[in-house]
Amino acid sequence: MALVFGLPALRGDESTSGDSCNILLITSGCCHDYDFQTKAMQLAMEDQGVDAVWTVVNEGGKGTEAEIDFYGEPDWAEGFDVVIHNECFANTADPEYVRSITKPHKAGTNAVVIHCAMHTYRAAEIDDWREFLGVTSRRHEHKSNYKVDVVAKKHPIMAGFPDGHLTANDELYVIEKVWPNTKVLATSSSEKTGETHPVFWTNRYGKARVFGTTYGHSNETFEDEVFLKALTRGTLWAAGKLQPRTGN
């Protein structure tokens, strides 16, 4: 089911372009309150003055395996400035299906990937989705209030992000691999091993810009204004509507 929503116009944020942002949000699957998260993202953009038009696709149920009908159309990504992937289907593994999603992105459809998108298609033997994400992760550590260390302080996505910010109660994803076209923006450290893991980054996948974050498990995270501002700026950056654009 696809729903379309419109949001008000910009309120003069000099870091954003003046035209509207056409957003496709793919959401559903295991383990999270996707209705709450969807509304939180929409309200955050409204509060930050973003002129956004939303198409929300919530298909596949609440399990760990699904092939949603929406991806069955070859032109499913056409007309959108950015696609937000906030889905969680770890046990979906069909290579053809996975490539039906990554192909439009490689051709230039920009994207945002949130939290369990990193574990979506985890069972797939091909690496296409993981290369698209920009990181490889197969597990997470316990929930805690993790400190976020900003490592790319001049990147426009991180503007105003307080270095050392403590997250809401959330999961730290263990990153096994950072892909070559990924630029790490911020990290958090494991409370068990001390190892640092990327938690915000950008990626270049073919012609597409990709912004990613491993945070986003809890409703509390989607009530955190610092997180929501970074997510909004990351979405605008991926869509090519955050100025100035730097890095990848």
Q: What is the CATH number of the domain that holds 126?
A: 3.40.50.880
In which domain, by residue range, is 129 found?
A: 2-238
Residue 243 inside a domain? The answer is no
Residue 155 inside a domain? The answer is yes
* pLDDT above 70 (res 223): yes
Cα–Cα dist 150/122, whole Å: 28
pTM confidence score: 0.91
Residue 246 inside a domain? The answer is no
Q: What is the DSSP letter of 132?
A: H
Residue 234 inside a domain? The answer is yes
Cα–Cα dist 56/228, whole Å: 18
Number of domains present in the structure of the chain: 1
Residue 60 inside a domain? The answer is yes
Least confident of 7-16, 65-74, 206-215, 238-247: 7-16
Across residues 215-231, what is the average pLDDT?
A: 97
pLDDT of residue 161: 97
Q: What is the DSSP letter of 69?
A: G
User: In the structure, what pLDDT confidence band is assigned to residue 244 with cuts at 50, 70 and 90?
Assistant: low
* pLDDT above 90 (res 248): no
* pLDDT above 70 (res 188): yes
Residue 157 inside a domain? The answer is yes
pLDDT of residue 28: 94
Least confident of 60-64, 156-160, 227-231, 242-246: 242-246
Q: What's the pLDDT tens digit per position in 169-184?
A: 999 999 999 999 999 9
* pLDDT above 70 (res 69): yes
pLDDT of residue 197: 98
Residue 29 inside a domain? The answer is yes
* pLDDT above 50 (res 9): no
Q: 92 — alpha (psi -120 to 50), left (phi > 0) or beta?
A: beta
Q: Which amino acid is at 26?
A: I
pLDDT of residue 18: 54
Name which residue leads in pLDDT, 1 or 125: 125
**Cα distances (Å, whole numbers) of residue 21 to 8, 52, 114:** 11, 5, 18
Residue 71 inside a domain? The answer is yes
Q: Tell me, rounded to whole angstroms, the distance of Cα 203 from its chain centroid.
A: 11
Cα–Cα dist 20/43, whole Å: 16
pLDDT of residue 19: 74
pLDDT of residue 177: 98
pLDDT of residue 211: 98
Across residues 117-143, what is the average pLDDT?
A: 97
Q: What's the pLDDT tens digit per position in 89-129?
A: 999 999 999 999 999 999 999 999 999 999 999 999 999 99
